[in-house]
Amino acid sequence: MEPIIAASIVASSVIGLMALGFTLQFITLKVPNLAHTTICFSSAYMPLSFWLFGINPYLALPLSFLIGSLLSWFLYKFLAFLRTRGTGPVGQMMSSLAFGLIIYGIMNIYADYLSYVLKAWARTFTLANADIILFGEPGIVFLSPTLLFSLTTFFHLLLTRTKFGIAIRAIVQDYSLAATLGVNTDRALGIAWFIVGGIGGLAGAVWPFWFSVDPWTGPRMLSDIFAACVVGGLFSVYGSILGGIIVGGMEILLLWGIAINVGVWITSYRPIIPVIIAAITLLIFPKGIMGSIEMLREKRRK
């Protein structure tokens, strides 16, 4: 397989998974979680630590899930606490950013610790050399899309076939009404944030198997996730997954196409691509793919 195709598969899958969590967190609390990508990539240091201690880095994935889950759950609890005290969406959003900064600081301290104590190159790292080979290709090329489809299916079933899913959908529709009807909103949202945080943690942990990671990767990736959500539709979980696949794929393939014609220097402008995609989407069809589909449906009904 062409490395560029493999890279786009990994990027699409990971961004799709992260966008799923970002959108679900947004539609449940009506607050964008600006720490989401930082939380996701904080777990990327687990596979590195395993590898440095001579253990297969893939074995760190459950731990990465747990780190993402716990951090996300803790943040939810904090934001919910602020909400009960009357803090508005902007205050909550800024608090999530503050939480992200704390994690960023801790990640840097941990990276410094690995660098100074274990003499490892932990500030910017990749685990491409530690990956397993399956059918002549790096394992991550198969693992990342598998994770995307299996976790999306799991999430879909969870939302449509369980009481918990009904509760979540009710909360998304009307938080107060759901609470009045007896839904334990705090517990349901806590579990939802725990699960999507874990999924994000997994996504962040598989990223270094193909791309390089540094403590700033998470905050930097916020643009990609935002673009994915705008393209897919700001209020649709499935739309954001689709948006993630499109943005991740386009970012790699489009840049590759331009680089062939213009020169390799253009690759340093890669992080600008998602912002351009988001801006164009906002201008042309501001409701994103799912929003546009919904509008078409409405027109047909009328």
Partner 1 sequence: MVLETLLPLAIETLTFFAIYLICSSSLNLQQGYTGISNLGLFFSISSGAYVIAALPTRLAVWLYGIDMDFVYQNALVVSLLNERFAQDAFTPTFLLIITFFAAMAVGSILGYVFTYLSLRLTETYLAVFFLCVAEAIKIFGENFIPLAGGPNGILLPNFFIWLGSYSWIVQSTFFIIIPFIIFAVYEKIAGSPFGRLLKAIRENELALQCLGRNTISVKLKVMTFTSAFLAIAGVLVSLRMRSVVAGTFDRVDYSFWPWLMVMLGGAGNNLGCLLGTFVCIIIRRIVYWLKFYLLFLPVDIMWLEYILLGLAFMLVMIYKPEGILPEKVHQIRPLNRSDQKG
Whether 190 contacts 28, CB under 8 Å: no
Convert residues 280-299 into a mask of x (bound to partner 1 by CB under 8 A) and - (unbound).
Answer: --xx--x-------------
Q: Which stretch binds partner 1 (CB under 8 A): 99-107, 143-151, 155-163, 249-257?
A: 99-107
AA identity, residue 248: G
User: CB within 8 A of 36, min separation 6: which ones?
Assistant: 18, 21, 22, 25, 72, 96, 200, 222, 225
User: CB within 8 A of 247, min separation 6: which ones?
Assistant: 12, 15, 224, 227, 228, 231, 274, 277
Q: Is 109 in the site for partner 1 (CB under 8 A)?
A: yes
Q: Is 113 in the site for partner 1 (CB under 8 A)?
A: yes
Q: Which stretch binds partner 1 (CB under 8 A): 100-108, 168-176, 238-246, 250-258?
A: 100-108
Q: Which stretch binds partner 1 (CB under 8 A): 1-9, 59-67, 88-96, 240-248?
A: 88-96
- Paired strand residues for 138: 133
* DSSP one-letter code for 285: -
Gyration radius from the chain CA atoms: 19
C-alpha–C-alpha distance, residues 203 and 147, integer Å: 8
Q: Is 268 in the site for partner 1 (CB under 8 A)?
A: yes
Specify the residue, 81 or 154, whose C-beta has the smaller distance to partner 1.
Answer: 81
Q: Is 38 in the site for partner 1 (CB under 8 A)?
A: no
Q: Where do contacts with partner 1 occur on this chain (CB under 8 A)?
A: 30-32, 34, 78, 81-82, 85-87, 89-91, 93-95, 97-102, 104-106, 108-109, 112-113, 116-117, 219-220, 222-223, 226-227, 234, 268-269, 271-272, 274-276, 278-279, 282-283, 286
